[in-house]
Copies of this chain bind each other. A is one copy, B any other.
Amino acid sequence: MQLEQKFREILKKIKAYNYVFSIVGWDSNTEAPRESFKRRSEMMGILSKELFAIETAKETIEVVNELYDNLSELDDHLQREVKKAKKSLDKIINIPEEEYVEFMQLIQMSQLVWEDAKKNNDYNSYKENLKQIIDFTKKFALYYAPDQDPYNTLLDDFEEGMSTKEYDEFFTVLKKDLVPFVKKVLKVAKNDYKKFINDSYDPKKQEEFCDYLIDVMKFNRNRGLMKKSVHPFTWNTSPEDVRFTTRYLENYVFSSIFAAIHELGHATYEQQISTEFDDTLLNGGTSMGIHESQSRFYENTVGRSEAFWETHFDKFKELFPEQSVGLTANDMYRAVNFVEASLIRVEADELTYPLHIMLRYDIERKIMAGEVSVDELPELWNDLMEQYLGIRPENDSDGVLQDVHWSGGMIGYFPTYALGSAYSAQIYYTMIKDLDLDEIIKNNELEKVNEWLKERIHKFGSSKTPKEILEDVTGEEFNAKYYVQFLMEKYSKLYL
C-alpha cells in the first residue's frame, strides 16, 4: 500500500531527527561543558525547524489524514499508529504558530525564573510566569478539544485513557483508606538509623555498589550503560541503546542506590521492548504510568524488600565496613523503609509519597477549573500539607516552589507517579501467583522477573494502551485497593 509506504518514509525521517536530539540531550545532561550551551541551542534551533517543517508539511498532513479516514481498512497496529499520529498532528496544527513560539520561549525563560525563585524563596517573582503557563496550557487544550474539560485533555496527554473521573476515584480511595493509616504509622515510627543513613560514603564506592546492582538486575551492558547526572533519569533511542543515570550524595547513600534501581526499572522496560517497533510509533514504553509502575516495582517491591537485603547486604558491608559495623540485613531493611512526614516529594518515603501526589492533583484540579488564583497557591499548598501530612512548610521553596514540572508546562503529569505505584501493586499481586518473588530475589535470579514482565508488559512497547496492558496482565480493571493493601501489609508488619 503506497500510502503506508509514504507514512513510513516520513516517520523514519522524523525518527532520525529525534534520534540526534536524544543524543544531544544525553550529552548535554551528562557531560557537555558549561559554555557549550549557547552553540548547542542555536544548532538545535535550526534542526528543530527542519523537523517541524517535516512534521507539519502538507504531504504529512495529507498522508496522516488519508490514513485516518480509512482507519478500518488498516491492521490493528497500523490503526493505533495512525491514531497516535493524528492526535499529535492535531495538537500541533491547531495552535497558531506565533502562540506556539511564544509559549516555547515562555517555557524556556520560566525555567530560569523558577530556579531563581526557588533559590531565593521568592514565589512572587515567579507567579506571573506560572499564570501565563497555566493560561497557555488551558488555551492549547481547548484548541485541541473545545468541548472537553482542559484538565482531562492534559491528563490524557500524560496517561492515555485517564481523566478526572478515574483519578477522582483513585484518590478518594487513598484519602479514605490510606491517609488514616499513614497517620497511625507516623505516630509510632521513629528513625533509629539516622547516623547510619547520613554517614559519609565515598562516592567512588557508591558507584561500585551501583555497578554491582546493574548485574543484580541482569541489565544488558551491551545495550546500555550507567552514568551520573544531577537529576537521575533514563534515556533510550531503541532497545539496543538504553542508558540511565544516578547521583552520588556523600551523606545520603540511599539516594544513589534507589535512584539506580528505580532507573534500572525504567531501563529494563525499554531494553525488553521488541525491536520490531523501532520504525513505528509503537516503540518505547506505553505510558508514564506503566513506566513508573516498572521503576517503582523494582525500587520498592524488589529493592526495599527484606529478601533483597538478606542477599546483598554483604556486598554493601564489604564496601562500607565502617559505616555498617554491627548492623544486620534486617537493620538495612528497616533503614531503607524508614517513614516520616517530610516536605519534599522527591525525598519522601514509599508510604507518604502518594500523599504528596494527592495534594498536587487537588491543586491542579482547582487551577484548571479556575477555582484558585496563582496568588492563593502557596497558602493552599501549605494547608493541604497540614491536612494530609500534619506538617507545614516554613517557606515556599519547600512548598509550592519545590518541583520543576509546572515551570516546564507539565500540568497533569504528577498523578502518573502515584498511578504507577498503584499499577505496580496490582501487577505484583498477579505476579506472585506465578512466581515466588522472595525466593527469586534470594537466589539472585531477577532475570526470571524480567522475563515475566517482558512477556506480559515490556515486549509490547506502545502497541497496547496502558489500560489494555493492565487488564491483560491482571485480568481486571485498574483497582486502587491493591495499592492500599500492599502498603498496609508492608508497613503494618514494619511499624504496627
A residues adjacent to B (C-beta < 8 A): 12-13, 15-17, 19-20, 23-24, 26-27, 31-36, 38-40, 43-44, 46-47, 50, 221-225, 227, 237-238, 240-241, 243, 278
Chain B, residue nearest A47 (CB):
B16
Chain B residues, CB < 8 A from A20 = 20, 23-24, 43, 47
Cα-based distance from A20 to B43 in the complex (angstroms): 8
Cα-based distance from A46 to B20 in the complex (angstroms): 11
Check A240 against B39 for contact (C-beta < 8 Å): yes
Chain B, residue nearest A279 (CB):
B42
Chain B residues, CB < 8 A from A13 = 46, 50
Cα-based distance from A33 to B12 in the complex (angstroms): 22
Cα-based distance from A17 to B17 in the complex (angstroms): 10
How many copies the complex holds: the figure is: 2
Q: A24-B20, A27-B27, A31-B225 are in contact. Are A240 and B36 (CB under 8 A)?
A: yes
Check A238 against B39 for contact (C-beta < 8 Å): yes
Chain B residues, CB < 8 A from A31 = 225, 227
Q: A26-B27, A31-B225, A225-B31 are in contact. Are A19 and B43 (CB under 8 A)?
A: yes
Chain B, residue nearest A12 (CB):
B46
Shortest distance between the CB of A408 and any CB in chain B (Å): 23
Check B36 against A241 for contact (C-beta < 8 Å): yes
Residue from B27, B33, B223, B227 within 8 A of A222 (CB atoms): B33
Q: A23-B27, A27-B26 are in contact. Are A240 and B16 (CB under 8 A)?
A: no
Q: A27-B26, A35-B223, A223-B35 are in contact. Are A47 and B240 (CB under 8 A)?
A: no
The 18 sampled A-B contact pairs (Cβ below 8 Å) are: A12-B46, A13-B46, A13-B50, A15-B43, A16-B50, A19-B43, A20-B23, A27-B27, A33-B243, A34-B223, A35-B222, A35-B240, A35-B241, A36-B240, A38-B240, A40-B241, A43-B237, A50-B50
Cα-based distance from A40 to B278 in the complex (angstroms): 12
Chain B residues, CB < 8 A from A27 = 23, 26-27
Cα-based distance from A33 to B225 in the complex (angstroms): 7
Chain B residues, CB < 8 A from A222 = 33-35
Check A237 against B39 for contact (C-beta < 8 Å): yes
Given contact pairs A26-B27, A36-B240, A40-B241, a sample of 10 additional A-B residue pairs in the complex whose CB atoms are under 8 Å apart: A15-B43, A16-B44, A16-B50, A17-B47, A33-B225, A33-B240, A33-B243, A35-B222, A36-B237, A39-B237
Check A36 against B221 for contact (C-beta < 8 Å): no
Residue from B26, B50, B278 within 8 A of A39 (CB atoms): B278
Cα-based distance from A138 to B460 in the complex (angstroms): 52
Chain B residues, CB < 8 A from A26 = 27
Cα-based distance from A31 to B222 in the complex (angstroms): 11
Check B237 against A16 for contact (C-beta < 8 Å): no
Cα-based distance from A223 to B32 in the complex (angstroms): 9
Residue from B23, B34, B224 within 8 A of A24 (CB atoms): B23
Shortest distance between the CB of A10 and any CB in chain B (Å): 11
Shortest distance between the CB of A273 and any CB in chain B (Å): 13
Chain B residues, CB < 8 A from A47 = 16-17, 20
Chain B, residue nearest A45 (CB):
B16
Shortest distance between the CB of A271 and any CB in chain B (Å): 10
Cα-based distance from A36 to B47 in the complex (angstroms): 23
Residue from B16, B227, B243 within 8 A of A46 (CB atoms): B16
Check B237 against A33 for contact (C-beta < 8 Å): no
Chain B residues, CB < 8 A from A33 = 221-225, 240-241, 243
Shortest distance between the CB of A292 and any CB in chain B (Å): 24
Chain B, residue nearest A16 (CB):
B46
Cα-based distance from A82 to B162 in the complex (angstroms): 57
Cα-based distance from A39 to B19 in the complex (angstroms): 9
Chain B residues, CB < 8 A from A32 = 241
Shortest distance between the CB of A468 and any CB in chain B (Å): 27
Cα-based distance from A17 to B49 in the complex (angstroms): 12
Shortest distance between the CB of A419 and any CB in chain B (Å): 31
Shortest distance between the CB of A335 and any CB in chain B (Å): 30
Chain B residues, CB < 8 A from A36 = 223, 237-238, 240-241
Cα-based distance from A227 to B12 in the complex (angstroms): 32
Chain B residues, CB < 8 A from A237 = 36, 39, 43
